[in-house]
Structures are given as structure tokens and as C-alpha cells.
Amino acid sequence: MSDGQPLIASVIPVFNEASHIGECLDSLIAQTLPAEQHIVLVLDGGSTDTTQIEVSKAIKRSEKVNGPVIELHSNPQKYVAEARNLALSILPDSVQFTVELIGHSTVDADHLEIRMEEWKRIESLSTAPLAAVGTRVKPRKGDHGIVESWIEGTLSSPLGSGSGQFDNFTASGPTNTPAFAMHSRSALEQIGGWDTTYITSQDSDLSMRLLEAGFALHRTPATSVHMVKRSGLVKWWKMGHRYGFWRMKILRKHPKRISLREFLPWFGLLTTLTFSFLQPTFALLLPSCYAAVLLFEGVRSSLFSKHISSLAGVPLCLFMLHSSFSIGLLDGLLRKGRAPKDR
């Protein structure tokens, strides 16, 4: 980019991220992409911890090493969709791309440089205007606690990852759900940015509207984002419920996004209840098969992670995810308003 004007912006909504935001920003300060081509916007939703202090420290660290400009802005509306829309409205005119990150994530030093290369490669092959390129999501670096290792094992399982942001894909190609997307600013502005109706799943809604507008969405395994996962079972349950709640809101707006897989727990429960009344002999057939599959995933995860506790922990977390998400789906169908927070 000429004249020292930024071409790409990392946009980071935060709320009470004091434990992680410093490491997140340090990973962006260390980027191999020339600093003048990159700007970082941190949008704070009213943190009550020391998040703003940690961001101010990172700003000074970046200035000291001639790193990218880091700006801290207030997000009065608190939530992610509002933060990303606010960023769109205050970005320098020179910025053509945004990278959507979160405060508890980090990236490798060549992340943005490779992202730019991948964008050019994919754009040259795309028959439709390119709006977004997603990346892989990997565990955070370093040692994990017991529950966090269970959750990592759950999300690496086909029964826990689905086809969304935690999908362990290995090939570049089109997608409906680009995780931690690098977006074309002009595409975002063309469809009016994020719908602030949604606290969660706002990216899913955005992707659907981009596709409906004729844009292409892709993903590439050439880059990855390291993400801190939840480390407590209560938060894990609340997350599953919140995702199910907002998923139902999305499905009511975009019926094309319905996946029968998401309703399998309800199908299994209703089938089991039907057998209980009509054929009691077979009432335990599906629950037994389900338990066996969960146990198999526990064994597989414990062998892979070398955590013996995963034998029970991964089946437990899978069961909690399936249950809380399914209850959230029903809650989202029946109830207006907003699901409880999990952070």
C-alpha cells in the first residue's frame, strides 16, 4: 500500500478480556506484514476489569517497535455486531479488508501476509465477487486445564464440531460459514453490515445475506486462529444453550440454513419415547447406541490427547453440548428476547 495508508484492519470487539487481550495484540504487533499496511481497532463494550489498561499497554508496545497503529474505541452498545458496524464507520478510507478477531485469540506472525496472498489466489479463481475468506480454528498454544482439554476433544470430534467455525477442514473451497473471516469492506458496506438483532450467530446471518447478494465465500487451511475455549462446565452448558437459541432465530430468518443434523437429538428423544409406549422392548436401543458412540469418542480423544480423564470428560461434554443446544433451539422457537450470557 502506498503513502503509508493501511490496507487491512483487524477488528476486535472486547468485554472483560484482560486475561487475553495483551497476548492477542502482541501477536498482531509481531506480524510480518508491513506495519503501515495494517491497523488494529479494539472496541470495548464497557469492560469492568483491566481490559482497557491492557490495551493501552499494548498500544505503547506497538509504538515502541514501530508496529501497527492500535486504536481503542468505546462500543456503547456492548455487543459484537454493533462493534463491527462501528468499526466499519470509523475505518480509514484506505482500508479495503477487515479481519474479524476476538480478544481471546492469537495468530501466527505471518498470518496477515498469508491471508493477503490467499485472498489474491482465491479471488483469481472465483467466478463471483469475493466477499470473505475464512480460516481454521485451532486450540490456544500452551498447556490446557482438564476441562479445557475435554472441550478441545469435544470440538475435534465429528459429533461436536459440525460444519461451522470448529470444522477441521483440510482443503480450500467455498463455504457458508467462514470462521474469523477476512471480509471485503465494500461487500460489507453493500449489504449494510451486521444485523444487530443477533447477539450470537450474527456472522451466520451476514454470510447468508452476502451469498444472497451474489458474493462468494471461501475458506482456506493455509492460515489459522488460535482460540481460548471455555474452561468450566457451567459456561460450556450456557454456551451451547446460547448457540442453540440464536441458531433457531437464524433458521427462522434463513430456512435454507436448516440442517437435519442439528435436530437429531430431538429426533432421538421422540423416537425413544414412541418406542417406550409402542414397543418397550426397543426403548433403550437408540440411547444405548448413542452412549456407545459417545464412549467411542471418549476413547479416541484420550488416545489422541493422552489425557485419561477424556474417557469420561469428552462424552460428558458432548452430551452437555447436544442437550444444551437442543434445549436452546426449543427456547429460541418459543421465546422472544435474549438468551443468557455465558461470558
128-138 pLDDT, tens digit each: 999 999 999 98
- Could you tell me the pTM of the whole model? 0.88
Residues of the chain scoring pLDDT < 50: 1-2, 342-343
Three-state DSSP string of the chain: CHHHCCCEEEEEEECCCCCCHHHHHHHHHCCCCCHHHEEEEEEECCCCCCHHHHHHHHHHHHHHCCCCEEEEEECCCCCHHHHHHHHHHHCCCCCCEEEECCCCEEECCCHHHHHHHHHHHHHHHCCCCEEEEEEEEEECCCCCCHHHHHHHHHHHCHHHHCCCCCCCCCCCEECCCCCCCEEEHHHHHHCCCCCCCCCCCHHHHHHHHHHHCCCEEEEEEEEEEEECCCCCHHHHHHHHHHHHHHHHHHHHHCHHHCCHHHHHHHHHHHHHHHHHHHCHHHCCHHHHHHHHHHHHHHHHHHHHHCCCCHHHHHHHHHHHHHHHHHHHHHHHHHCCCCCCCCC
Predicted pLDDT at 148: 87
Tell me what pLDDT residue 161 has: 74
CA 159/CA 317 separation, integer angstroms = 11
Residue 137, phi then psi, degrees to nearest 5 = -115, 125
**Residue 337 CB partners (closer than 8 Å, separation 6+):** none
Do residues 297 and 136 make contact, with C-beta atoms less than 8 angstroms apart? no
- Kindly state the cell numbers that stand for 71: 486504536
Per-domain residue ranges for the chain? 2-146+163-230
**Mean pLDDT score across all residues of the chain:** 91
Q: Which residues contact 36 (CB under 8 A, 6 or more apart)?
A: 1, 4, 5, 6, 68
* Cβ(236)–Cβ(321) below 8 Å: yes
> pLDDT value at position 2?
43
CB burial class (10 A; 0-12, 13-18, 19+) of residue 264? middle
Second CATH level (architecture) for the domain 2-146+163-230: Alpha-Beta Complex (3.90)
Amino acid present at 226 = H
Quote the pLDDT of residue 92.
95
